[in-house]
A = this chain, B = another copy of it.
């Protein structure tokens, strides 16, 4: 097994200094009702209230602002069906450079409008991983723009980990942190940050049962591809990358799964009880806790609510 990539708490702290002027320090919320329903003491890190509506703003800003002036000069390019594209567009605007975002033709109109609102140029592609990548490569070749991967990039991962850094600063004695896992950029960054602060904080990934490739990869010791998973948690359909997988193996304690029904029920409950809008991906760790699929009774649990971008015309409940 290869050594874990060179990423530690120092990089997360550097990322935090770098992005602080451009992103929100999101609030940590609590809920007596959800504590009662789960039997734990929950601390919700509200990345749904982050700029552009998701934690992705953290990694995108770190990646974009870590570029040298020479690297940044011709702009940045990425591919994304949603939150990462908007985050890169916003970060590029913050730096005053161009952004090119490749989106599948099937992406929700509301997500495309968000990317365009931040001033990025959108190029549509076929809804396959191959088409995304080849289109992004073509744009890179044509424009000389710098490619920013949605998750398999150490600067992106370091940026995402700042969400956990802030959570731990506010609630120092957490027993566990739960974080959704798709491509693994957020979970691996959170794990590096949390374990860097204290080996005693357990870090657990939460994944839809219908897209459990990260869980299977974690157990198999090699990356198992996601295929084309059918889950409502549209932010969690990607496969792990080489970098995120290595970091997850090195630093994450376990990955748990939740059913589609549990995800929808958890999403609705958070809206109803906490009065905040979270997207299905963000509901996955809450679903794990409501199902009591994890033994955390009486413990202090950090829950990362990863995003709040939903199409209000197509609610699942």
Residues on A lying within 8 angstroms of B by beta carbon are 27, 29, 48-49, 53, 268, 271-272, 274-278, 308, 312-313, 315, 317
Contacts and interface: CB of A to CB of B under 8 A. Distances in A.
Nearest to A48: B275
Contacts of A308: 275
A275 B312 contact: no
Given A268-B312, A275-B276, 19 more contacts: A27-B27, A29-B49, A48-B275, A49-B274, A49-B275, A49-B276, A271-B277, A271-B312, A272-B277, A272-B312, A275-B277, A275-B278, A275-B308, A276-B276, A276-B277, A277-B277, A312-B317, A313-B317, A315-B315
Contacts of A275: 48-49, 53, 276-278, 308
Which 3 pairs, one residue from A and one from B, show the smallest C-beta to C-beta distance?
Answer: A275-B308, A275-B277, A48-B275
A312 B49 CA distance: 20
Q: Among A27, A268, A272, which residue has the most Cβ atoms of chain B within 10 A?
A: A272
Contacts of A272: 277, 312
Contacts of A276: 49, 275-277
A27 B27 CA distance: 9
A268 B311 CA distance: 11
15 contacts: A27-B27, A29-B49, A48-B275, A49-B274, A49-B275, A49-B276, A268-B312, A271-B277, A272-B277, A272-B312, A275-B276, A275-B308, A276-B276, A312-B315, A315-B315
A273 to B, nearest CB: 8
A244 to B, nearest CB: 26
A47 to B, nearest CB: 10
A275 B282 CA distance: 13
A170 B275 CA distance: 22
Contacts of A53: 275
Contacts of A317: 312-313
Contacts of A274: 49
Contacts of A29: 49
A33 to B, nearest CB: 9
Contacts of A278: 275
A308 B271 CA distance: 9
A38 B51 CA distance: 19
A217 to B, nearest CB: 31
A277 B272 CA distance: 8
A312 B317 CA distance: 8
Nearest to A273: B53
Contacts of A313: 317
A269 to B, nearest CB: 10
Contacts of A271: 277, 312
A271 B311 CA distance: 10
